[in-house]
Every structure is written in structure tokens, then in C-alpha cells.
Amino acid sequence: MSSDLTGVAPSALAGAVDPDDDYLTVALLCAGLAEILRRRERAAAGEKNAEGILPSSWRSGFARLWWRCFADGVPAVEDDLRLLGLCAEPMVTWPVALALSEIDLQQTLLVGERLSEFAEQGARLSRGDVEAEWVENRVHEALRSTASANGSTPQEVEAAYAYLRRYLIDHAVIADRSVQTLERRFRAHDAAGRTYVRRLVEAAYRSRTVVGVQRFLLCPACRNPVEDAACDCGTPGCPGGSAVELLLEPLAAVYEQHRATRLYVHDPGLVEARIMDALSTEKLAGRVRITPYPGVDQVDVLIEFLSPDAGSVVVESWGVDAKDQVSARLLGRGFVWPKEFRCDRRLLALPMHRAKQPGYIDDLKAEMDGRVAGVQVIDENRLIKQVKRRAGELHG
């Protein structure tokens, strides 16, 4: 199937050339759903809808599903409404037995009026014109431009990037005063006199005018705001806990992260933040050097083991990319190791809540097999243990 027709980037779905590939069908439906929801939102906002027909990715996905039913000799899904209805049901209940992993078959594509986490991942993989992806790209773009404007050497740019990226992981909600503090630290500005860091904040957060002290409740583990103390944060894999109070004293506004920032920058960043924190202990100091987001985010963490004799001489290096995604199969398809990034061991680290799911690691490895060479899959706890053990071996 031509990638032009489907809007599917060949690289993203490499390995998906098999015409019977159900992951391609589902990814197309996800991209289509994302577009349908986006149009619906625009219509609700009173914008005129110039596109009368359903998105091409949806139609391609529908057609593929129709043929799939036909080939299996089961009654085809009759129309778009019926298929939309199915999207809210686990795929295991669909009339045709899709060749997806056990875990993925339990997923729905829609949860209420929104894309499910699985569908978000599928839509991203198929590079549909997804509003959420657009916000995410704007945030990443702003992160890079802010970092590069605020550093005069590659090391300074890398440090600025790492600081700001971590800031977004640690701060789901901030006061305008914090933005000013950031502006004093990262002073570079554009031709119009606006600091790059303010542009980053405006891309990643939504501001709200307020008067007086503002009280927020945060989940103690992921630091996302929750409605009330009893409310579940909803962050995948988050152990939660009793909400903690955050009091902000803004001058006139608070900034809260967009849903897309939360989904694509904040929440998936929690696993790498945990890894960095666990390895930045006194016990490892002088033996292991941790660099967050080396080379401006080529991978998530660079772990360098230092020589016991000569302080800063690196004797071994491990690169870690941490990924927190609902579908192992879709993750495996989209995963690439940056070619330019050299290290002795390449690791794809998974958060425990994914790694513990039966079949997740096997599915991921099966998808990477023969496509991504030399990358080991590991869970976050095992990674931390292995780093400590290796540091012990090298330092006796």
C-alpha cells in the first residue's frame, strides 16, 4: 500500500509491509480517529468544517478491516458508525480475530470521547495530523531552541536542555513568578525581545489569570495535579498515594501543563527521572558519571563508569533510552537507536509497570528482532542494580 495514500510514514511502520498486518490497520484507524476527534472539537468551537468526508487514514483502515473480515469469512463491519462503536470496545471483542498481542487485544481505541492511550500511541506512529502530536512537537522544538539560544558551547546547550527538560517533568503546574525566575536564568531572547524560555513555557503550559494564593493537590509520586485527595492521578503505572498540597503565590497567573505535554513529555519522562535520581547517589559519586539527555536528547541517560585510578577517565559507557508506552508491538516498530550515538552498551529501559505485564518484553523483543541490532531490553530496577554491580566490579 502506498504510503502517500495512507499518510503512514514508511519508516515508522517499517516491517509493516505485510498487507495482512493488523497493526497497520489499527494504526490507521487510530490516526483516523484522532483526526475525527480534532474535527469534532473544531466544529464545537464554531469553526467551519471544510473537509466533508472522513479522514483518508480512517477510510484506509476501514477498507483494510473490511477485506480482513472478508478473508476470514465473517460478516463485515457494515458502516462507519458501527466501526466507531467498536472502537470503544476491547479489540478482542471485534468480529474479526485481529493478529495483535494478547495485551493489545484488551485495549480499546476510544475511552469516552477521547483516544485511549493505545490509540494515541498508534496515531503517533502513523504520523497522522494529530493535534496532540503537534503540541508535543512544538514543546520539543521550543526546548531545543531555548537550549541552543542559551548556550555558547555544546556542553552549555546540553546542560540547558537537560535542565529544562527535567523542569517539565518535575513541574506540572507553576506560578508566573517561577517563569520570571526561569527568565533570569535563561536570558536569551528573540528579535521581538521575548525570551525563548517564555516561549517554551507558553508552548508547554496553559496560563490562567488568578487572584491570590492558589491551592493545588498533587499526586506525591508523579506530581500531577489531582481534583481531590481521594482522586486517582490516572498516570500509567503511578503508585499514587495521599495527595500533597501545593500553594502557589502568583502575581497574576498560574501555568498548567497541556494534556499533550503531560502525555508526551511529563509522564513518559518519569521513568528516566527515576533512573537518573537512583544513580545520582553519594555512593556512586566519583565512580559513575550520569549525563541526562546527552547530545541534546540523543538518548535519555548516558552512564559512564570512571576509572578507579584516574578520576575522570571513562572506562565504559552505557546509553539508556527509557520508553513508557502502552503497546510493546507499536513501541518495537517505532524504536530506533540514534546512529551517531556511540557507547559500549545500548539499553532500552522499561518502567516496571510495563515490564511486569506478561508478554510485554517478549512482544517488544519480537518486534525489534532483526530490525534493531545490539540494543538490550531491560527494566528500570534491573538497570539500576546492574549499574551498581558494574561500578562495584570496576572499583573492587
Q: Which segment (215-223, 250-258, 340-348, 352-360) binds Zn ion by CB under 5 A?
A: 215-223
Contact between 91 and Zn ion per CB under 5 A: no
CB-based burial label for 76 (10 Å; 0-12, 13-18, 19+): middle
Size (the chain), residues: 396
Binder of Zn ion out of 84, 103, 222, 254 (CB under 5 A): 222
Residue 172 binding Zn ion, by CB under 5 A: no
CA distance 200 to 141: 9
Residues 271-310 within binding reach of Zn ion (CB under 5 A): none
Please state the closest distance from residue 225 (CB atom) to Zn ion, in A.
10
Nearest to 116 by CA among 275, 263, 283: 263
Q: Is 383 in the site for Zn ion (CB under 5 A)?
A: no
257 near Zn ion, judged by CB under 5 A = no
Instruction: Indicate the SS3 state at residue 26.
Output: helix
Q: Say whether residue 238 binds Zn ion (CB under 5 A).
A: yes
User: Is residue 221 near Zn ion by the rule CB under 5 A?
Assistant: yes
Of 27-35, 112-120, 218-226, 249-257: span binding Zn ion (CB under 5 A)? 218-226
Site mask, Zn ion, residues 352-371, x = CB under 5 A? --------------------
Q: Contact region for Zn ion (CB under 5 A) — 136-144, 180-188, 229-237, 369-377?
A: 229-237
**Near Zn ion by CB under 5 A: residue from 96, 100, 219, 378:** 219
What angle do helix axes 117-125 and 22-44 make, rounded to 10 degrees? 100
Least CB distance to Zn ion at residue 325 (A): 18
Task: Tell me if 244 contacts Zn ion by CB under 5 A.
Answer: no
Question: 365: burial class by Cβ within 10 Å (0-12, 13-18, 19+)?
Answer: middle
Q: Centre a 10 Å sphere on the Cβ of residue 146 and count the other Cβ atoms it contains.
A: 25
User: Which long-range contacts link 187-195 to residues 24+ away (Cβ below 8 Å)?
Assistant: 187/150, 188/146, 188/149, 188/150, 189/149
**For Zn ion, which is the closer residue by CB, 233 or 355?**
233
Q: CA dihedral in degrees (324, 326, 328, 329; nearest 10)?
A: -130
Nearest distance in Å: CB 136, Zn ion: 20
Using the rule CB under 5 A, is 235 a contact of Zn ion?
Answer: yes
CB nearer to Zn ion: pick between 88 and 231: 231
Least gap, CB of 232 to Zn ion (angstroms)? 8
Residue at grid coordinates 469553526: 47
Q: Are 22 and 99 in contact (CB under 8 A)?
A: yes
Interface residue with Zn ion, options 86, 143, 233, 302 (CB under 5 A): 233
Q: CA–CA separation, 14 vs 125, rounded Å?
A: 11
Binding residues vs Zn ion (CB under 5 A): 219, 221-222, 233, 235, 238
